[in-house]
Chain A
Amino acid sequence: MSRLHAPLSVPGSTPLPRRLAALLCAALGATLGPLAAAQEPAPGGTIQYGHFQEPSCLVASWVQGWYLQRQFSDNLVSRGADGKLWPWLATSWSVSKDRKSYTFQLKPNVRFTDGTPLDAPAVAANFKRWLDVDPAKRNNAAFQYFGDKFESATATGPLTVRVTLKTPYQPFLTVLSHATHGILSPASFERSTAENCERPVGSGPFVVEKWNRGLNVVFKRNPNYNSAPANARHQGPAYVEGLVWKFLKEPTVRYGSLLAGESDVIYDIPAVHWKEANEKFTVVRHITGGSPLRLQLNTAHPPFDDLRVRRALAHAADRQRAVEVASQGAVPFEGNGALSQSAPEYLRELASRYPFDPAQANRLLDEAGWTGRTPEGIRTRNGVPLTARVAYGAGGIVTPDIAQALQIVQEQARAVGFNLVFKPTALADWWAGKNRGPNDYDILPAYWTASGAEVLQISWRPDAGDKPNPNNASRFQDPKLWALIREADQTADDARRVQLYQQAQRLMVDSAAVVGLATLPVALASSPRLKGVWLAGGVGEPVFHDAHFVK
């Protein structure tokens, strides 16, 4: 058994130098005591938080649900923004020699807010629930990340859980740190789906009191909270009494609410106010890892079955300028379409692999035989115009800023002879599969929120028989790529694993199966009265447990 994390308390006799050190610390503590007490934040107050989207269920396995779940549940482990893993509900864990078995030691005396104990059987029950056969109960993130690898979760002691996988899977702990894998009360699962959606029960710093649909979710403090992660700024209950999580969909009302003092903190600062917000308020920003917003080019069909045409598109537009102009600095550019810059496995040099170079784009298209021209200036080959359909869910993945950036790209691509046709698709139709069939699009902009390279197996898994992987919209099926990703996912050696992930990125970007566009920042602006709001290292989930008001 190799230890990843030592238990927090080391049993046995304490050596003399350490005892001396402890004495010194105690003396120092005595002198610093009053000062430290003065710095202890004053409790009280209710945070008014202006959020954006409202999910249809408070336990949702997509990122808007993760943000909420971070408030009412705790995970086994916590991930820092640097990728380091910290103890949380699991005070320690160990991995078997074959790297398939994880044994978690749980924090004692933790209870769910319905009063039931958070113990080993409860954790095992959560694993079973995540991988339920019923799509209405299942956690889709768990299903996609380790559904095919999971073997069993067993309580081997009152506070000891052993999770066994069929194959080694190195990103497992990172995946478990995502708020969607927060541990919920198994007793609550006995209730109806409606109740579980409306009043989920975890052990987190806040308790869902009431969901006023279309308006807000009212949280109150969990007064018995004793299970903050080791990387939290304090242990024990939250400083504030409550949290009102408001759904302010319109950017004007959201930012206006912060200006007028009706909100203490807001999510997603509108681009036009980005500069002002940074001057007036405390802004925290987390660049989400995982797959950035990139153009997935359909490599299975003309025109993008030709590498030269894919590269020509990448060179055709000044994507960096387009994103900067459209978002006014609120959204940083991401040139590496394979992975986001905050991922520890990120390969920076790939971000500048395809600089803005219309001459090169024209050369590549000439070589590829797109030498004819329509009267409008669109290139043709054998009489067929160089048209590419850009399909996306309107109002969902593509925000107004990104839509504007895409229009700039469209205009510049036109100058070298591309005709990009936008196919915005109503969300209902989008989820039902419209414009997403393998032959329905040529470019599909999308992202996938994650911490780092653990996302690659989702985005690049090859099609299973005649069922295309809907998340591999590039339809890029190079067996070499899948072999690299699978090997990396199973490699324990950190340096080697990163190297393999980077080789995979290089293959994706060199083959221009994806063309990078933008990062996915999570940004909060808070009033100077509110201190201590931070973004978790998983995917930037807002954390209000340490937040407190100052006079």
Chain B
Amino acid sequence: MSTPIDAPGRGGRGLARARLLWQGLGAVAALWAAASFTFLVQTLMPGDRAMLLINMAAGNLTNPSPEEIAAVNARYGFDDPVLVQYLRYLGNLLRGDLGVSFQQHQPVLAMIGEQIGPTLTLAFSALVTAWVIAVALTLACTAREHPLSRAASALQVALATIPPYWIGTILLVAFAVELRWFPVEGQHSLAGLVLPTLSLALPLAGYLGQVLQDEFARVLEQPFVTSARMRGMGDLGVRLRHVLRHAVLPGVTLSGWALGKLLSGAVLIEAVFARQGLGGLLVAATSARDVPLVTGIVLTSAAVYVVTNLLVDHAYRLIDPRIRLS
């Protein structure tokens, strides 16, 4: 493609299109890799899958006859070469068919559809909450010679190191079981979302806050901040309008990664607060080596992750227009 150098508008569009194409290809490759890896690991693990399915359906150890094993193998095609199983799986995937759960006999897509809402709600509300906490603490406390600000910083380090499961249990016992401010079971109301959200958001806020503050403190030293102050801008104005805008960039990058972490953290938090979600589904599917279901869930999480990272990428350029295509 030849683009006249003196036509930056058109060239920019062409480059943007190419870039989008590359990003799309990258996303597809990532999804293909996730699906393939999960499928192959699940399929190649040792152990007789027909025996596993018969025993799990029976709920105890059985002594299936060779004919019964053969019938299950034939039904699910376990006897075919792995390559054949893999290609069949990919073919179905291309048609949008995620298959039927080996153990629960339901279409995987419907099962995921039933569970993904609560998980995404929890993950995004935790992400937003973590940002609100991190930004508020950063604005209030960075580079201020005040014992409170040092205490806030120490608190963030502490939060960043605490496992969400532990926070969740403590919050549950303190605020739901003892004080009764929130419901114990976190599924049925908006109030029930508060404690699960905090369980995931607090550790993330600690981590995010650390990153924001480092950058914030660095930007505060920049010459343009000094010049803004010299123009007579107030401290809060400087922090809000100039410094924060620059300081959030590493945090935004981090958010893509954080969402992946939140999705995996949700597995435990959903159990602690007895919420529906992909977590419980994944645990059940893994312990039954339910290949279509496990692969479907991994693929879904990967898709959420990929989409979020694309969004992050674009948000980056919205926040700081100086970042251009290189």
A residues with CB within 8 A of B: 54-57, 60-65, 133-136, 140, 144, 192-194, 197-198, 212-215, 246-250, 252-253, 256-257, 259-260, 262, 395, 426-429, 431-434, 436, 448, 464, 467-471
Question: Which of A61, A136, A467 is in CB contact (< 8 Å) with B63?
Answer: A467
- Collect the chain A residues with CB atoms within 8 Å of residue B58's CB: 61-62, 135, 140
Q: Tell me if B162 counts as interface (CB < 8 A to partner A).
A: no
Q: Which residues of A contact B64 (CB under 8 A)?
A: 135
Q: Do the beta carbons of A140 and B184 come within 8 Å of each other?
A: no
B172 touches A140 (CB 8 A): no
What is the size category of the interface that chain B forms with chain A? 35 or more
Q: Per a CB cutoff under 8 Å, which of B52, B60, B271 touches A250?
A: B271
Determine the residue in chain A with the shortest Cβ distance to B104: A56
In contact, A213 and B276 (Cβ under 8 angstroms): yes
Known contacts A135-B54, A213-B115, A246-B185, A428 near B47 by CB under 8 Å: yes
Which residues on the B side are within 8 Å of A248 (C-beta)? 185, 274
Residues of B within 8 A of A432 (CB): 47-49, 51-52, 55, 289
Question: Given the complex, which residues of B lie within 8 Å of A133, measured CB to CB?
Answer: 68
- Decide: A250 near B183, CB < 8 A? Known: A61-B59, A213-B114: no
Chain B residues whose CB sits within 8 angstroms of the CB of A134 once the complex forms: 71
What is the bound-complex CA distance between A193 and B104, given in angstroms? Answer: 9
Expressed in whole angstroms, the Cα–Cα distance for A464 and B64 within the complex equals 12
Q: With the chains together, A14 CA to B274 CA distance in Å?
A: 59
Q: Are B105 and A194 in contact (CB under 8 A)?
A: yes
* Chain B positions within 8 Å of A144 at CB level: 62
Q: Which residues of B contact A213 (CB under 8 A)?
A: 111, 114-115, 276, 281
Q: B61 touching A436 by the CB < 8 A rule? A: yes
Decide if A215 touches B288 in the complex (CB within 8 Å).
no
Is the C-beta of B56 less than 8 angstroms from some C-beta in chain A?
A: yes
A434 neighbours in B (Cβ, 8 Å): 46-47
Q: Are A60 and B59 in touch, CB under 8 angstroms?
A: yes
Minimal beta-carbon separation of B142 from chain A (angstroms): 37
A140 touches B177 (CB 8 A): no
Decide yes or no: A136 and B47 within 8 Å by CB, A215-B187, A253-B185, A260-B180 being known contacts. no
Can you list 28 A-B contacts with CB-CB less than 8 angstroms, sorted by A residue number?
A56-B103, A57-B105, A63-B59, A65-B59, A135-B62, A140-B58, A140-B60, A194-B104, A194-B106, A214-B276, A214-B280, A215-B187, A249-B271, A250-B274, A252-B172, A256-B173, A256-B184, A257-B185, A259-B177, A259-B184, A427-B287, A431-B56, A432-B51, A432-B55, A434-B46, A434-B47, A470-B63, A471-B61
Q: Contacts A259-B177, A260-B180, A428-B286: A253 and B273 contacting too (C-beta < 8 A)?
A: yes
B72-94 interface with A by 8 A CB criterion: 72
A467 to B114, CA, bound (A): 42
Main secondary structure of the interface of A (DSSP, over half): loop
- Contact status of A262 and B184, CB under 8 A, knowing A134-B71, A194-B105, A433-B48: yes
Task: Determine if B61 and A262 form an interchain contact, defined as CB atoms under 8 angstroms apart.
Answer: no
| Contact A135/B57 with A256-B173, A257-B184 known, Cβ cut-off 8 Å | yes
Which chain B residues border A469 with CB–CB below 8 Å?
63
- Inter-chain contacts of B61 with A (CB < 8 A): 436, 470-471
Q: Footprint of A on B, CB under 8 Å? A: 45-49, 51-52, 54-64, 68, 71-72, 103-106, 111, 114-115, 169, 172-173, 176-177, 180, 183-185, 187, 270-277, 280-281, 284, 286-289
Are A260 and B59 interface neighbours, CB within 8 A? Answer: no
**Which residues of A sit under 8 angstroms from B187, Cβ to Cβ?**
215
Known contacts A135-B57, A135-B68, A428-B47; is A252 also within 8 Å of B286 by CB? no
> Would you call A247 and B274 a contact (CB within 8 A)?
yes
Do B287 and A246 touch across chains, with their CB atoms under 8 A apart? no
Contact status B288-A135, CB under 8 Å? no
| Shortest Cβ distance from B289 into A: residue | A428
Option from B54, B173, B183, B289 in Cβ contact (under 8 Å) with A252:
B173
Q: How far is the CB of B25 from chain A (nearest CB, A)?
A: 35
- Among B48, B56, B72, B276, residue most surrounded by chain A Cβ atoms (within 10 Å): B56
Q: Give A215 to B187 CA distance when docked, in angstroms.
A: 8
Q: Once bound together, how far apart are the Cα atoms of A212 and B118, in whole Å?
A: 12
Instruction: Kindly state the separation between the CA atoms of A503 and B66 in the bound complex, as whole angstroms.
Output: 36
Q: How far is the CB of B15 from chain A (nearest CB, A)?
A: 46
User: Which residues of chain B have C-beta atoms less than 8 A from A395's C-beta?
Assistant: 287
In this complex, the member of B47, B59, B180, B289 whose beta carbon has the largest number of chain A beta carbons within 10 angstroms is B59
Contact of A256 among B71, B172, B284 (CB under 8 A): B172
> Among the listed B106, B115, B183, B270, which residue makes an inter-chain contact with A260, where contact means beta carbons less than 8 Å apart?
B183
4 nearest A-B pairs in the assembled complex, by CB-CB distance: A62-B59, A432-B47, A140-B58, A470-B61
